[in-house]
Chains A and B, each alone.
Chain A
Amino acid sequence: EPEVTQTPSHQVTQMGQEVILRCVPISNHLYFYWYRQILGQKVEFLVSFYNNEISEKSEIFDDQFSVERPDGSNFTLKIRSTKLEDSAMYFCASKGQGIWQPQHFGDGTRLSIL
């Protein structure tokens, strides 16, 4: 069964550094998402991406964050000037065409900011 893959599984970075989290969505999907889950908290929406542009973003997704689909298969989340509070599990998801289609999630990248 097709799946969403994320790399790396764990990223440790010094505060203030930039990180890029990578995702390969399911190949025929058109909608792409990033969510995060801080330890002990709910899964939170960050951003959605469709037709090569951001379609929705949350208040969390400020100028520190950016997303890109650099080629036909990868979808990346860049976090600049990382802060301690950016430590979380980051999940990528993708969805096919259609109103009521489920989003499928990758296994996440655990980001630890030191």
Chain B
Amino acid sequence: DQQVKQNSPSLSVQEGRISILNCDYTNSMFDYFLWYKKYPAEGPTFLISISSIKDKNEDGRFTVFLNKSAKHLSLHIVPSQPGDSAVYFCAASAFFDYNAGNMLTFGGGTRLMVKP
């Protein structure tokens, strides 16, 4: 199942610089996109999301950009901090109706390492 793909398995960034994590999707029915951060031995922690009616959403150091025509989203972290080192998953869902589950389809993850 390659509906959501994160092509970079890992990314290394210097502290204070920008981290850019990318995600591509193929299903045009997806209308809600999320980024999760995951530390070892913990569950995915919700970070930021964007709906298909927007092309940008910002929350503090985190900004998500959505390019619907390219079926591409990215997560920008500025400035990057050592505590940001984790695996980042993008996920997508499609809304059908309020009784549906809105299941998430996950990418494979990108391991971000922020070096002091």
Residue numbers of A with Cβ under 8 A of B are 4, 6, 31, 33, 35, 42-45, 47-51, 55-56, 58, 91, 93, 95, 99-100, 102-108
Contact = CB atoms under 8 A, between A and B. Distances in A.
Q: For the side of the interface on B, what is the size category?
A: 20 to 34
A21 to B, nearest CB: 13
A108 B105 CA distance: 18
Interface of A is mostly: strand
Contacts, number: 69
Contacts of B100: 48, 50, 55-56
B101 A104 contact: no
A35 B91 CA distance: 13
A55 B45 contact: no
B14 interface: no
28 contacts: A6-B43, A33-B101, A33-B103, A33-B104, A42-B106, A43-B89, A43-B91, A43-B104, A45-B103, A45-B104, A47-B101, A48-B100, A50-B101, A55-B99, A55-B100, A55-B101, A91-B44, A93-B104, A99-B51, A100-B32, A100-B51, A103-B34, A103-B46, A103-B104, A105-B36, A105-B44, A105-B46, A106-B43
